[in-house]
């Protein structure tokens, strides 16, 4: 007698074991893709900048970073950027200049 699908037992999934290797790898892959795209676009990620936005008045300074990834969307575009507590899209940037360190 052969087994049917009804006789098969699904394997157990242990979500509480603390193994986050796959998820961490997924997160790192998204971050790397975003960084690669930002570099291709010439965005000074990790540098201290002064920038102005089309959507918000004023000039802002700080270290330009990628915002935390949106896990609902795997496609890394559009890039969500962050400067201090301000989160915006790359298309919102009106101007951006890298601040040179005084020791350079």
- CATH number for position 54: 2.30.30
The pLDDT score that the predictor gives to residue 96 is: 93
Query: Which of 9-18, 55-64, 67-76 ranks highest by mean pLDDT?
Result: 55-64
Edge to edge, the sheet with strand 80-83 lists 86-89, 80-83, 59-66, 48-53, 93-98
Confirm whether 62 is domain-assigned.
Answer: yes
pLDDT at 6 over 80: no
Count of domains for the chain: 1
Better-predicted residue by pLDDT, 10 or 78: 78
Provide the domain limits for residue 65. 44-104
Confirm whether 91 is domain-assigned.
Answer: yes
Confirm whether 23 is domain-assigned.
Answer: no
Confirm whether 1 is domain-assigned.
Answer: no
Cis preceding linkage at 78, omega within 30: yes
The pLDDT score that the predictor gives to residue 39 is: 83
Give residue-wise pLDDT tens across range 20-64: 677 778 778 878 888 888 888 888 988 999 999 998 899 999 999
């Amino acid at each position: 007698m052969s087994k049917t699908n009804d006789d098969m037992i699904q394997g157990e999934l242990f979500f509480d074991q603390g193994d986050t290797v796959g998820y961490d790898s997924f997160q790192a892959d998204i971050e790397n893709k975003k960084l690669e795209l930002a570099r291709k676009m010439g965005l000074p990620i990790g540098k201290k900048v002064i920038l102005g936005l089309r959507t918000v008045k004023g000039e802002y300074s700080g270290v330009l970073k990628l915002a935390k990834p949106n896990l609902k969307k795997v496609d890394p575009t559009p890039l969500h950027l962050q400067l201090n507590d301000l989160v915006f899209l790359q298309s919102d940037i009106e101007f951006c200049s890298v601040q040179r360190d005084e020791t350079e």
